[in-house]
Amino acid sequence: MKDKVYDFLSCSVNHVFSKFDNLQDTLSPNIAILQTHFDLNDKSREKEHQLQEKGILNAHICHNAQTLKKHTECDSSYTIICVPEQPVQISKKGKFNIAQFEFNMTDDKCLCVPLDPNTIIVYSGFLLTHRQQIQKLNSDLHPFINLVSYNSEKLFKHLMESFRRQINERRK
């Protein structure tokens, strides 16, 4: 499962970067600087290493993930959401577990993006008020799955602490 997650995330990230020149250089400059000194994944873990080279340091599987409150993330530099191929079940009452991502433009205007299979979204959680919703959630049917990767100040500080600790251990 982990290999499939990294394969799908890698394909999604490569697609995003092929459409937006030099986007990986603008996503998180602090992480890019850190990466030149800190190897999280050695080259034998090819997909993880390729993602690391592009600034993608984490990947999370979201299972029926919903956000109740609309919010921004003050410590986030970017977020990538990608939706893998998955079964869409139809019940007698209609489709269930249909996810959408909401970007709130103003108090009364919302841009809703359906999270259909093979959808990829890249956005700034710092700049856009947002949330993820699942319509007609039914736990008896297949769950909705999506992958997310983001850089944040908290992640950066954690990596810097690890990096400093590693340097200090080598000096001893």
pLDDT in tens, 94-123: 666 789 999 998 888 999 999 999 999 988
Q: What is the pLDDT of residue 131?
A: 93
Are 78 and 122 contacting, i.e. CB atoms less than 8 angstroms apart? Answer: yes
Q: What is the pLDDT of residue 112?
A: 94
CATH of the domain at 89: 2.60.120.10
Q: Which domain holds residue 108?
A: 2-171
Structure tokens at 63: 């299972």
Q: Is the pLDDT of residue 39 over 70?
A: no
Q: Is the pLDDT of residue 89 over 80?
A: no
pLDDT in tens, 131-150: 999 887 777 778 888 988 87
For the whole model, what pTM was predicted?
Answer: 0.72
Q: How many CA atoms lie within 13 A of 102 on its CB side?
A: 19
Q: How far apart are the first and last CA of the chain?
A: 39
136/50 Cα distance (integer angstroms): 37
Of 5-9, 79-83, 168-172, highest mean pLDDT: 79-83
Q: Radius of gyration over alpha carbons of the chain, in Å? A: 18
Q: What is the pLDDT of residue 61?
A: 84
Torsion of CA 67, 69, 73, 78, to 10 degrees: 40
Total domains present in the chain: 1
53/105 Cα distance (integer angstroms): 33
